[in-house]
Amino acid sequence: MAKKRTHIEISDNAIRAKFHTQADDAVHATGAGVEWMNRLVNKAGGRDRLAMRLAGTDDKKSRAYKSQRDYISRIVRGGRGIGKGKASILSKAARTMAADKVRQKTGPTKVKIAATWKISSTEWNGAATGEFTGEERETLASLIESGDHDAILDMVTNKYGEEFAEQMLDVIDFEGIEID
């Protein structure tokens, strides 16, 4: 059984940037907002699909859809940044799309966390990986949707290896998460 380790502190901004579920001030700047919105549009499968998801309707004639479509266009053009209120809505949409992708996948879902790890008294720069199937995959999807980054980190490190999970003390520099 894996030893219960103390809570791992990771910068929220680093995690949000890598999960593309930001709520930090950097994204409110026009340039960063354009880049982030373009990634979100690509994940959604286009502006129309993202607008439908945000509006909660697939009726392209509805006021809600048109409002969301115009908002997305203004950000992509660089005409405005993403406000804090809208950032949390977009963040939730990004998490939901990522969770849906995990749920719809057939076969194992691979998760890779790249970071600089503090192992015992040494630092190691590398990636911890884990494969999840069945009930574990559903748990992973739920954690992605809720934004519980610490629990995702625990799942992956425990899957990577019990010895690694026991010896890992901290994440020094969080580089990114890939979900395939």
DSSP class of residue 25 equals G
Q: With CA atoms as reference, report the closest residue to 167 among 113, 121, 103.
A: 121
Does residue 71 have a pLDDT over 70? yes
Amino acid 161: pLDDT: 80
Share of the chain above pLDDT 70, in %: 82
Of all residues in the chain, the percent with pLDDT exceeding 90 is 12
Does position 19 have pLDDT exceeding 50, yes or no?
A: no
User: Is the CB of residue 30 less than 8 Å from the CB of residue 83?
Assistant: no
The greatest distance separating any two alpha carbons of the chain, rounded to the nearest whole angstrom, comes to 61
Q: What is the mean pLDDT of residues 9-38?
A: 54
Q: pTM for the whole thing?
A: 0.67
106-134 as b/e, with b when 16 or more CB fall inside 10 Å? eeebebebbbebbeeeeeeeeebbbebee
User: pLDDT per residue over 78-135, tens digit each?
Assistant: 877 787 788 888 888 888 888 888 888 888 888 888 888 887 778 888 888 888 888 9
Binning pLDDT at 50, 70 and 90, where does residue 32 land? low
